[in-house]
Chains A and B, each alone.
Chain A
Amino acid sequence: MTLAPARAGRQVITALIDEVTVESIATEAWIALVGEDEVLVPLAGDLPAETLSAWVDVVGPWTGSVVLTTGRQTAADLTRALLREAAPELLDHEDVVDAFGEIANVVGGNVKASLPGPSTLGLPQVGAAPAVRNPEDVCRLGVLWRGQPLVVSVQGALPPLPSPHTPNENPHQNGASL
C-alpha cells in the first residue's frame, strides 16, 4: 500500500492540490486585485532577509494555512498597486497589513474552495510566517512579481502523521472535523 496518509483518515496537501492549481489561483487573484497587466512569472527566486508573510488558516478535513511570503518592500509595492490612486505618500503598516492580508484572503479562499470540505476560513493574519509542521504536507510555489520573489505555501498545521507502529493519538479515526 502506498496510501500511508489515508491510514489516519487525513491526506497531505500534495494529494489534494498541485502547484499548477495554486499558480492559476494566484494569477487570477493578481489580475483582479493588483492589475490586468500584472503577471506572476512561475520562477522561484531567493527571498531577501527581510520578509513579511500574510496568511489565512483553513480548518476542515485538511487543516493548515495558505501563506504568502515576500520581501517587505515588495509587500509595500503590492499595497500601492492595490490602493492605486488612493495610496498615501507614506504607507502605514496598517495599509500593508490590510492589503497583503486581503491578497492572502482571496488566494486562501480559492485554495479552500478546491479542497475537500466542509471547512472554514480564518481571518487574514500578517507577520512572521507560521512554521512548517510537516515538510511532506506542503505545496510550495515560487513566483516572481515585477522581478521580485514571492512564495505561496499551502502548508499543513498538524504534526507529521504517526508511524504505523506508534500508538494512534488521534481519536478521530476518520479525520472527522470538529
Chain B
Amino acid sequence: MKILVADDSRVMRQIVIRTLRQAGYDDHDIVEAEDGRDAYDKVQAENPDLVLSDWNMPNMTGLECLQALRSSGSAVPFGFVTSEGSADMREKAADAGALFLIAKPFTEETFRENLDGVIA
C-alpha cells in the first residue's frame, strides 16, 4: 500500500511517518509532498492508496487539494492531519469528501482509531 504524506513542515512529515510506524502501519510505501499543489501532482503521478494531508499549507491548502482531486475525478481516500480540529473544519473536511480529520497533537492511538479499516 502506498501512503502520501503532505505537509509543508519536513519535521511534521517525519513525525507523521514515525507515528504511522509506531501505530503498526510500518509495511507501506511512503511518498512525501511539501504542499497541496505537490500533493495534487503526486496523487496523479504516484497513484497512492491513501493521502494524509495537513490543512494549512502554502500554494494550495489541503482542502483545496482535496477539492481539486475530487473535481478531477480522483476518489483517492483522503484524511487530514492538522493543527486545527474545530467543528467547522471537520464539517468542511467531510463535505469535501475527507474520511477523517486527525487534530495535532496526535498519538499513535489516534492514528489507529482513524486508520483502522482504511489501511489494510
The residues in B between 6 and 63 inclusive whose CB is less than 8 angstroms from any CB of A are: 8-12, 14-15, 18, 56-58
Cα(A150)–Cα(B2), bound, Å: 39
Cα(A110)–Cα(B83), bound, Å: 7
**A102:B12 contact, CB within 8 angstroms:** yes
Q: Could you tell me the dominant secondary structure of chain A's interface residues?
A: helix
Given known A-B contacts A83-B14, A98-B9, A99-B11, A113 and B84 have beta carbons under 8 A apart: yes
The residues in A between 93 and 138 inclusive whose CB is less than 8 angstroms from any CB of B are: 95, 98-99, 101-102, 105-106, 108-110, 112-113, 117-118, 121, 123-124
**B84:A121 contact, CB within 8 angstroms:** yes
Cα(A101)–Cα(B8), bound, Å: 11
Please give the number of chain B residues whose Cβ is less than 8 angstroms from any Cβ of chain A in the complex: 22
Shortest Cβ gap from A98 to chain B (Å): 5
Shortest Cβ gap from B94 to chain A (Å): 17
The reply on B117 being an interface residue by CB < 8 A is no
How big is the A interface, by class?
20 to 34
Which B residues contact A (CB, under 8 angstroms)?
8-12, 14-15, 18, 56-58, 82-86, 88, 103-107
Which A residues contact B (CB, under 8 angstroms)?
28-29, 31-33, 79, 82-84, 86, 95, 98-99, 101-102, 105-106, 108-110, 112-113, 117-118, 121, 123-124
